[in-house]
Amino acid sequence: MLSWRKTKLQGVSVHQCRFSSLFRGVLVDAVGVTGTQSQASLQHGLPGKTVLSIARNHSVLLSKLCTSTRLDVWSIDRTEAFSTISGSILLQARDPAKLNEEIQIAVNQHRCDEAWRLFEQHMQMEGFPRKSVVNNVLVCFAESLDSNWLQKGYILVEQAFDEGKQNLLEKEPLLYLSLALAKSGMAVPASTILRKLVEVEEYPHVSAWSAVLAYMSLAGSGSYLSAELVLEIGYLFHNNRVDPRKKSNAPLLAMKPNTQALNIALAGCLLFGTTRKAEELLDMIPKIGVKADANLLVIMAHIYERNGRREELRKLQRHIDEACNLNDSQ
């Protein structure tokens, strides 16, 4: 192939030499004709203007011939270049099915960089890969616990939602990615994924999103987001809005905040001093019908004490006395 191209380029070079010779020949002829005509004109008494006009016509003709020939040569070079580019594009073209297999192999071998490179190739060619491949890539990035790959996984999720392809995303890989983001201190994307799951009615179980809360609540900003998330999810269950008798409501009811979720969020608020936000959670408890355990009562007492709510502390005393499993230290 390379030798053929060299031969072709040499051919073009030879033609260019021949064109140059042709130009010189035409130029000599034109000068000769002009000189002959000039002598004839002088001999026969033709006006000087006529001689100059004839010379100009020969010059214009020669210029057009040179320009046309240069364009032809440039066209040959451009065709050769375009042919080379087209060949490289054809070499880069990949079979999408084969590319899906290669992505899966890279995922199985935990080669996140290779999986992402192939994933981007597929996105440029045909958009998102198969559903199973997309979710396996998310799991691979989540397992790495590397902030770079976790961010890329989150970007992938956002792009899927932006393009209306959220049906490619399964609940379990998204929960796993959310948990990994929370463990790595990225509370905002972790909570955003949980919100997106609720948005598309893929309700996460309370035990699953409570685990995400636990890691989010280890930092100040994360604890505030945890309280906000509990308030948002709890709002869906205010005043018995969800009928427990309907079987279709079972997945939604499984997401309802329980005592453990409230304990986690309230403990984070107490630890990082956002006790005003914690009081919003306490006000929500009777609206969603959560029964307080001993730990929740103790946390409530600390929050009321921090906020100077003595009246609420006195009301709480009765509940504390009735708690059968409350020890002396508590």
> Is the Cβ–Cβ distance between 143 and 108 less than 8 Å?
no
Mean pLDDT for 224-246 is 95
Give the per-residue pLDDT at 37.
Answer: 41
pLDDT at 142 over 80: yes
Element (H, E) at 301: helix 294-306
Mean pLDDT over 17-28 rounds to 41
- Three-class secondary structure of residue 217 per DSSP: coil
* Closest residue by Cα to residue 11 from 80, 97, 65: 80
Give the per-residue pLDDT at 317. Answer: 83
Scan for tokens 């996140």, then name that residue: 112
Give the Cα-Cα-Cα angle 127, 171, 219 (nearest 5 degrees). 105
What tens digit of pLDDT does each residue of 312-325 get?
888 888 767 766 56
Structure tokens at 12: 């073009």
For the record, the structure tokens of 319 come out as 């509940």
pLDDT digits (tens, 9 = 90+) for 189-204: 999 999 999 999 999 9
What's the mean pLDDT in 14-32?
A: 41
- Average pLDDT on 23-42 reads 40
pLDDT, mean of residues 168-186: 98
Predicted pLDDT at 286: 93
Is pLDDT at 58 greater than 70 in this prediction?
A: no
Q: How far apart are CA 31 and CA 217, in angstroms?
A: 93
Q: SS3 for 274?
A: coil
